[in-house]
A and B are shown apart, each in its own frame.
Chain A
Amino acid sequence: MTRDVAVLGAGMHPWGKWGHSFVEYGTAAARAALADAGVAWGDVGSIVGADTVRGGYPGYVAGATFAKALGWQGARVASVYAACASGAQAIAAARAQILAGLTEVVLVVGADAAPKGFFRPAGGDRPDDPDWLRFRLLGATNPVYFGLYARRRMAVHGDTPEDFALVKVKNAALGALNPYARYRKRVTAEEVAASAVVADPLRLLDICATSDGAAALVLSSVGFAHRHGVRRPVRIRAVSTVTPRFPNTVLDLPDIATDSAVAVEPPGETFRASVARAAYEEAGIGPEDLSLAEVYDLSTALELQWYEDLGLCGAGEGAKLLREGVTAPGGRIPVNPSGGLASFGEAVPAQAIAQVCELAWQLRGTAGDRQVAGARVGITANQGLFGHGSSVVAVR
């Protein structure tokens, strides 16, 4: 029995700062995905929305919000929130419904309308909320954590700010080719080095912006895809949504401290590496099988970290892999052919879905100037606040 689900359709609303509601972006992406799939909205049995915390109540019930905007048609509905992994958990929920035989076609939608500047916690006085505390007590914005990770890599692995800048150069060149990306201009290493320091050693062009954007997928059973006339659909083979294991010894957002390892030896791999390993195990593949990867480059330095966590190279070898061109277009394993978060800016609930959209287009061979030749197997990787991470494996 197959554990695969088919990706029938993928759609996006372009990323940017458009000044509209997340509902407008999400329904545009949903309609694009339905058109791409050749499936009528009325034939969708279930809709799963990835929530946004920035749209008021409609954002917390995103599935219903999109269903109403598309026109109530009686589909079952779910809404999920998992910080940056929300989109992947929406895919996981859809996949579970299909594999359980509850429904054959599911529409997955994530959309956000982002604030200007730093992400900030919800309002009110909430000393029990770690996200509130890190801002209140330390002024520790997201880039502060990215800066800590980058400096740690410099100290432990010998990475340099020039290595980090090359990630931006690579991803900006790819984003320039992607009509859905917000930033479509090539960037030079000199421009990265000349941009303002945000959180030492990272500069403005090392850190991903926050964007408006939306992405949607139409998923179905493989049987439905065949009956629908799609003989070789892109298939999702694994969706990893595992949690960390105690003691988590990497300082993760939004925590002020790690777990203590004084009573229990830490696991042999980091949380991020465990997210990827679970995806590999579920898909029955390894890093050597990959044609491409879409990773969560919240900062340039984090992309290098993902190379290692995905097992594309050994610990500390990320910068070398980049410099050798292995992760560039034409390399052995191109990373972020979409242009990555560097070119999109983060639209939280849409981003993990957008990663899978890019896999779908690449595996179909319809990614245009960004196409990875002969792409057969792709992986996504993502990490968010509060112990969330995800990794999706798609094949064709």
Chain B
Amino acid sequence: MPHTRTPAVAGWLDGEGEDFRLLGTRCSSCGSVFFPREDVHCRNPLCAGGALEEVPLSRKGHIWSYTDSHYRPPSPYVSNPELPWEPYALIAVELAAERIVVLGQAAPGVTVAGLAVGMEVEAVPGVLDEDAETARTIWHWRPTGVRA
């Protein structure tokens, strides 16, 4: 059992359970939100640029589209080549407050058969890959059971 959980990418996620959030940044001048985070300069071409502040993104959103991956992705994706490949679903989710679409893997066990465009999903913590010491954590999208 790995004894530490660490985000697979630094500064993109925070918290566990109900407190889990994706982290982005927001321009203090124009209000544009960035995910993946921009920490140096706002990308709005009409904005002179302001300080970029870390903000948690909405935990819930609605499915913009979805698909799945029936073939093993190449490296740097990490998978055990000795195990048969298990397809997983990917979901692109529209967050209303931020007006942004964020792609992520679906939580384990979620298949495309159970998904529909417009369905409500929430960000939950998941494990991307792990070794003896460390589990690298990532965001997963999971249907809330609430229909659009």
In the complex, what distance in Å separates the CA atom of A247 from the CA atom of B100?
Answer: 9
Interface residues of B in 88-146 (CB under 8 A from A): 88, 90, 92, 97-105, 112, 116-118, 128, 138
Shortest CB-to-CB span from A250 to chain B, Å, is 8
CB–CB A117/B74 < 8 A: yes
In the complex, chain A residues whose CB is within 8 Å of the CB of B98:
260, 262
Q: In the assembled complex, how far is the CB of residue A203 from the closest CB belonging to chain B, in whole angstroms? A: 9
Known A118-B73, A141-B69; judge A148-B99 contact (CB<8 A): no
Question: Given A257-B101, A260-B33, A260-B99 in contact, is the A139-B69 Cβ separation under 8 Å?
Answer: yes
* B35 located at the interface, meaning its Cβ lies under 8 Å from any Cβ of chain A in the complex: yes
**Nearest B residue to A148 by beta-carbon distance?**
B65
Most buried by B among A138, A155, A246, A261: A138
Q: How far apart are the CA atoms of A143 and B87 in the complex, in Å?
A: 13
Chain A's closest residue to B79 (CB) is A139
| Chain A stretch 116-143: residues in CB contact (< 8 A) with chain B | 117-118, 120-121, 125, 127, 130, 132-141, 143
Residue on B nearest A261 in the bound complex, by CB: B99
Smallest beta-carbon distance B65→chain A, Å: 4
A68 at the interface (CB under 8 A from B): no
Asked whether, in the complex, the Cβ of B70 is within 8 Å of the Cβ of A139, the reply is no
Q: Are A251 and B46 in contact (CB under 8 A)?
A: no
Decide: B103 and A140 in contact? CB cutoff 8 A. yes
Assess the B27–A263 pair: CB atoms within 8 A: yes
In contact, B100 and A259 (Cβ under 8 angstroms): yes
Collect the chain B residues with CB atoms within 8 Å of residue A141's CB: 69, 71, 73-74
Q: What is the CB-to-nearest-CB distance from A161 to chain B, in angstroms, rounded to a whole number?
A: 13
Docked complex Cα distance between A95 and B4 (Å): 57
Proximity bits, B56-70, A CB within 8 Å = 1, else 0: 000000001111111
Query: Are A135 and B77 touching (Cβ within 8 A)?
Result: yes
Query: Is the Cβ of B43 less than 8 Å from the Cβ of A259?
Result: yes
Q: How distant is A252 from chain B, measured CB to nearest CB, in Å?
A: 11
Residue A49 lies at the interface, judged by CB distance under 8 Å to chain B: no
Asked if B45 and A246 sit within 8 Å, CB to CB, the answer is yes
User: A residues within 8 Å of B by Cβ?
Assistant: 117-118, 120-121, 125, 127, 130, 132-141, 143-144, 147-152, 155-156, 196-202, 246-247, 249, 251, 255-264
| B interface residue numbers (CB < 8 A to A) | 8-10, 27, 30-36, 43-47, 64-71, 73-79, 88, 90, 92, 97-105, 112, 116-118, 128, 138
